[in-house]
Every structure is written in structure tokens, then in C-alpha cells.
Amino acid sequence: MKKLTLNLIIILLFIFAVLSLLSLGSDYRAERALWRLDHTLYEIVVHKESTPDYAFDRLAEKYRAFIKKNGESIHAKRAHLKLGDLYAIRKDYSQARLEYQKTVGPDKELSAQAELTIARTYEQENRWDKALPVYRGIIKNYPVTNSGFLVEMYLARRLGGSEIQNALSFYQNMAVKYPKSRLEYSALRMIAICQLGQKDYSNAVKTMGEIMLKFPIVQAIKESIAGINLLCITKLHDYDMPVNIYNQFIQKYPDHPADPLLKKLIKDLQLLKNKKLIIQTAPKTASK
């Protein structure tokens, strides 16, 4: 029995050694090392008030050692980004920006993320004159990255006013430029949010209808139905608009799992229309 056990253990160890050797050149080790550093950074973020300075310094040292070891790889770029975050936590924004800047490179997603964090550090310092051009640069240079795509909406929410119209135009362009894609779906959602921000409820409903007609997926249908019903019943008092949209959907997608629900909604909405009911949302009470 001992011999058999020993032989099987040797086989397992041999295979482990061979697979380890063969995978020496892969990114896995770097990924793992970086994750561990990021995990420590996360711990520092959670307990930043009680973290002593030497813990910050030690982690920064480790990030630098990692960057040195991994040269110009994508992992080194990511490490620069995290090192920047570490400085930002310590409110050393100029040093943070230096690190973020080193992340900018051929990887557009990472670059957009780096630029975004640069802009945020300016914001932290209340330097909107510096932050705004960086945000605009992200929208111009990286519009189809995750970070770049959301910047217009961020500015619209943060600044309001004409920024909402800018965001609306931006997302309308994106929807036209990338038809039948996930980007169009996301752009249409953003358009609806902007229209809600402008209190343009009629167009918001049309956009929501467009979303569910173009993208008959669960999330899109759920969100659209909720939005359309709420706006049409409580704001527009127009029961024909949702009925038309739902009828179009049923015609376009017969046998869709959502059809029974939509048919029931059409019935309910017609009942509300016949009873000439006007439902309004309760006015917000002023907080004391």
C-alpha cells in the first residue's frame, strides 16, 4: 500500500512540476501578485484612519517593486493606477497624478480609467478649471470605453444645466453611430435618463419604448415597462401611448415570454382610460 501511495504521489507531483514549468511564462503569477497587493490596498482603504504611515510606505514600495519586475506589461500599468490610488488616499494628489499618468498608453480602457482618476484628484482639490478639460479629453479620446462612456452622464449629474443637453447630444450620436450593439442599448438608456433630467417625459417614454422594441431582453423590458407606466400614468396621463408601445411590441415579437404580461397591462390601462382616472404621485413633503 505504501508503495502504491508513494507512486501516485510522485505522479501527482511530477505533473504539477511539469505544468508549473510549462506555465512559467504566463501572466498568472503577475496577476496573483498584483491581486494580493490590491487586496492590501483595499484593507487600507477600509481602515485608512487607523492605518499607520509605514503601512502605506511599505505597500507603495511593494507596488514599485512589482512595477520594476513586470516592466511595461499591462500589469505594471495597472499597478501604477493602484499606486496612484494609494497616494490619493493619503491626499498626495500631485504624486497620485504622476502615477496615473504613467498608466496612459496603448490600452484605451486603462488610459480612460487613468485620465478619469486624474480628473477626480483635481475635483478633490476643488480645481474644476483643471478637472473639466481632463473630463472633456476623456469624452473626446475614449468615448467607447466604459469610463469614457459614462463621463458625460457624470458631468450632467454633477453640473446640470447645459451639461444635460451636451450629454443628450453625445448619447444620441453614440446610438446612431453604433446601431444594434450593446453600446446603442446603453446610449438609449442614458438618453432616457437625460430626458427625465430635462423633464421631457413624452420623449423619455418614446425612448423607453424604442429600447424595449430594439432590445427585447429581460432587463430592458422590465426597466422600460416600469418607466413607461409610471410616466404615462402619473405625469402624462396618457394611456394610449403605453398601449401603442405594448401593441407594437406584441406585433413585432409574437410568442415573446413578455407578451401575456403586456396584454394584461394593455387591458388594465384601457380600464384606467375608460374610468378617466387621473393618478398623481404624492407631492414631496418638505423635510423639517
Partner 1 sequence: MQKVKSPFTVLRITAGFFRSENKQIFYPFIITVFINLLLLEILYFYPRYPLALFFSPIISRIWGDEYLHYPMNLILLPKLFYYSQIVIFLFVSNILSAMTVDMVADINNDKTVNFRASLRRSLPGYIYIVLYSTLSLLLFKAFDSAYALVIRRTLEIHSTTGIFFWIKKSVFYAAPYAQFPYSILILALILYVPVLIILEKKKFLGALIGNFKTLFGSFWVTLTLVLIPTLFYLPLLLMQSNIRSLIEVTAPEIQILIIVLGIFVITGINIFVMAAATTYYLYKKESS
Footprint of partner 1 (CB under 8 A)? 1, 4-5, 8, 11-12, 15-16, 19, 22-23, 25-26, 28, 31-32, 35-36
CB of 28 to partner 1, least distance (A): 5
Cβ closest to partner 1, residue 5 vs residue 285: 5
Nearest CA-CA partner of 40 in 11, 25, 22, 62? 62
The string of DSSP codes covering 83-101 is HHHHHHHTT-HHHHHHHHH
CB of 251 to partner 1, least distance (A): 31
Distance from C-alpha of 133 to C-alpha of 141, rounded to nearest angstrom: 12
Which bin fits 53, alpha (ψ -120 to 50), beta or left (φ > 0)?
alpha
CB of 6 to partner 1, least distance (A): 11
Cβ closest to partner 1, residue 25 vs residue 52: 25
Cβ closest to partner 1, residue 22 vs residue 278: 22
* Contact status, residue 144 vs residue 125, Cβ threshold 8 Å: no
Distance from C-alpha of 184 to C-alpha of 178, rounded to nearest angstrom: 6
Cβ closest to partner 1, residue 19 vs residue 286: 19
* Contact status, residue 82 vs residue 63, Cβ threshold 8 Å: yes
CB of 282 to partner 1, least distance (A): 21
| Greatest alpha-carbon span in the chain | 88
* Per-residue cell: 146: 466604459
What amino acid occupies position 123? E
CB of 24 to partner 1, least distance (A): 9
Cβ closest to partner 1, residue 15 vs residue 45: 15
Distance from C-alpha of 133 to C-alpha of 270, rounded to nearest angstrom: 51
Cβ closest to partner 1, residue 12 vs residue 226: 12
CB of 29 to partner 1, least distance (A): 9
